[in-house]
Amino acid sequence: MNDYCSRGAQASVNGGVRGDAAKTHYHGTRRVLQYVRLAALCAVAWCANATAAEGAPASGAHAGSGAIQAASGAMAAAAKARAPSAATTASAAVAASAASTAPAASTASTASAASTTAASAPVAASGPAPLTLPEHAKLTPQQAAGETRHALAMRETFARDVTRRLRVPLADQRAYGQRLQAALDAKDLGALAGEYVILVDRSANVQALFIYFRAMPGETWQMIGASPVATGRPGEFDHFLTPLGVFEHTPSNMDFRAEGTMNENNIRGYGKRDMRIYDFGWVDGERGWGKGGYSPMRFQMHATDPDRLEPLLGIRHSKGCVRIPASLNAFIDHNGIIDAEYQALVDSGKSLWVLHPNREITPWAGRFIVVIDSARKTRPAWAPAPGSQARAKLPKGGDTAD
């Protein structure tokens, strides 16, 4: 069982990133949840009232795309660097209390137990660490013009390597650049410049990802390219709205790679083998079922099944993650578009298995993904929805996968 919602799949760690683990996101078997909850109730008195909204647990971890390859030694370093959260603390406590009754230990069961507690507890999971404005060398206007010219050459690489592209009109490119700036301003990152930034519009009528660049603060953000995506689809149990805000891509939440094996619905949840999963850590996600509210979820950006689900990019269809085309995944990976923090580790002498040795990291590598909701009332012509042929490829149970 190894798609986005691989139920009860056992986890193992190969000395680094979550190896052979189900997608540690926000799913789990309901029966396992019942066992875990029962054990927690027996062992911890204050858990007597620990029920998720609408009587159903909000699974705080996403158990997904099967066996996942690991980067040797990276998990231990990431664990030390990562600030503890209420979700992970709850996971350990509940898992320990449930050990005698729950089935074989798994990432899915412990993470789901964490969300059961966190969803009902009055204190939500601790948020990500405060964001810090990266430091870049100050440029003269002439230097900035040269940097811009060279950085925008990535447009040619994007056009050559990314097969799912959106032709965004210049007026919309500028409008989204302004939305990007507003989101950065809200997080005291308004002076960000000198690196690529990923912007996602989760609007139901858009569902698009954009890559932007500017050389100096105060300049206009310029678009490198855009592609269709799929974000969280509310209205069904365990489906979160993709969280809004600015998220940092850091080795504190180490990336990993997909094995590309099929699940019970014949879906490759993380996409084909070797696709990279970009992990942004635990966030408080808005539940898209019941009365709403917030629960811890693992926020990731990743590829999806190339045959069954990638054709559906352009509509809300995930359980909270950002699904992207395989060619875009490879483009971001190979060029290190948001790998600035990973490259800093490499420059310090660390060896990270998750990074391919033949990658060609850009000098303008960034670290941020920004998620907004433009709330557009109509779908623009440049962001078409998938057609009936794409929907016809969706297998039974495909709508329940992230």
Cα separation of 266 and 28, whole Å? 18
Rg (CA), the chain: 20
95's tokens? 């898992």
User: Could you give the count of Cα atoms lying within 13 Å of 236 in the half-sphere of its Cβ?
Assistant: 14
Q: Kindly give the pairing relationship between strand 294-302 and strand 208-213.
A: unpaired
Residue with tokens 């045959």: 307
Which of 8-17, 264-273, 381-390 is least confident?
8-17
Which of 110-124, 136-150, 292-306, 379-393 is least confident?
110-124
Q: What is the mean pLDDT of the chain?
A: 77
Residues of the chain with pLDDT > 70: what percent? 65
pLDDT at residue number 357: 96
Identify which of 248, 166, 180, 246 has the alpha carbon closest to the alpha carbon of residue 219. Answer: 180
pLDDT at 2 over 80: no
pLDDT at residue number 128: 62
pLDDT at residue number 45: 36
37-41, 97-101, 260-264, 377-381 — most confident range? 377-381
* Mean pLDDT, rounded, for 308-315: 95
Residues of the chain with pLDDT > 90: what percent? 61
* Structural fold of domain 139-390: L,D-transpeptidase catalytic domain-like (2.40.440)
pLDDT confidence bin for 264, thresholds 50/70/90: confident
Q: Are 322 and 209 in contact (CB under 8 A)?
A: yes
* Residue 295 bridge partners (DSSP): 285
* Mean pLDDT, rounded, for 248-262: 96
Q: Which amino acid is present at 173?
A: Q
Cα separation of 34 and 52, whole Å? 12
* Mean pLDDT, rounded, for 302-330: 96
pLDDT confidence bin for 388, thresholds 50/70/90: confident
In order, the DSSP letters of 3-36 are STT-TT------SBS-TT----SS---HHHHHHH
Residue of higher predicted confidence among 234 and 60: 234
Q: Which amino acid is present at 133?
A: L
Residue with tokens 């190969």: 14
Q: How far is CA 125 from the centre of its chain?
A: 17
pLDDT at residue number 239: 93
- Residue 277: strand, helix, or coil: strand
pLDDT at residue number 207: 99
314's tokens? 């352009």
Identify which of 164, 278, 303 has the alpha carbon closest to the alpha carbon of residue 228. Answer: 164
Q: Which residues of 302-316 are buried (b: 16+ CB within 10 A; e: fewer)?
A: bbbbbebbbbbbbbb
pLDDT at 110 over 90: no
Cα separation of 235 and 88, whole Å? 27
